[in-house]
Amino acid sequence: MRLTATLGEAYNHAPYPMNGHGKRNVHVLKEAFEAVDGDVDSDMYGNGAIMEQFHNTFAQLLGKPAAVFFPSGTMAQQIALRIWSDAAGSKKVAYHPLCHLEIHEQDGLKHLHHLEPILLADTTRPVLLSDVLNMPEGVACLLLELPQREIGGQLPDYRELEAISAHCREKGIKLHLDGARLFEITPYYGRSAEEICSLFDSVYVSVYKGLGGIAGAVLAGEYDFIEESKVWKRRHGGDLISLYPYFLSADYYTERRLPRMAEYYEGAIALAELYNSCQPAIRTVPQVPVSNMFHVHIGMSKEQLEPILIEVTQQTGIGFTHILRPTGDASCFYEVSIGDRFAELPREKARDAFRQLSDRLMTSHNRNP
Nearer to its own copies, 70 or 354 (CB): 70
CB of 259 to its own copies, least distance (A): 24
CB of 330 to its own copies, least distance (A): 30
Spatial separation of the C-alpha atoms in residues 163 and 158, rounded to whole Å: 9
CB of 78 to its own copies, least distance (A): 7
Residues that bind its own copies (CB under 8 A): 23-30, 33, 36-42, 44, 70-76, 78, 105-108, 111-113, 208, 214-216, 231-232, 234-246, 248
- Torsion sign, CA atoms 284, 207, 217, 175: negative
CB of 23 to its own copies, least distance (A): 7
Spatial separation of the C-alpha atoms in residues 289 and 275, rounded to whole Å: 12
DSSP 8-class letter at 95: E
> Does residue 165 come out as left (phi exceeding 0), alpha (psi in the -120 to 50 range) or beta?
alpha
Look at residue 268 and give its three-state secondary structure.
helix
**Please, are residues 224 and 257 in contact by the beta-carbon 8 Å criterion?**
no
Nearer to its own copies, 29 or 88 (CB): 29
Nearer to its own copies, 107 or 359 (CB): 107
CB of 362 to its own copies, least distance (A): 35
- DSSP secondary structure of 291-337: SSEEEEEESS-HHHHHHHHHHHHHHH-EE--S--EEEETTEEEEEEE
Look at residue 143 and give its three-state secondary structure.
strand
CB of 207 to its own copies, least distance (A): 11
CB of 27 to its own copies, least distance (A): 3
Nearer to its own copies, 187 or 238 (CB): 238
Nearer to its own copies, 3 or 35 (CB): 35
Query: What is the identity of the amino acid at 334?
Result: Y
Query: What CA–CA distances, in Å, run from 141 to 25, 85, 127, 193?
Result: 37, 7, 14, 21
Nearer to its own copies, 111 or 159 (CB): 111
Look at residue 223 and give its three-state secondary structure.
helix
Nearer to its own copies, 64 or 113 (CB): 113
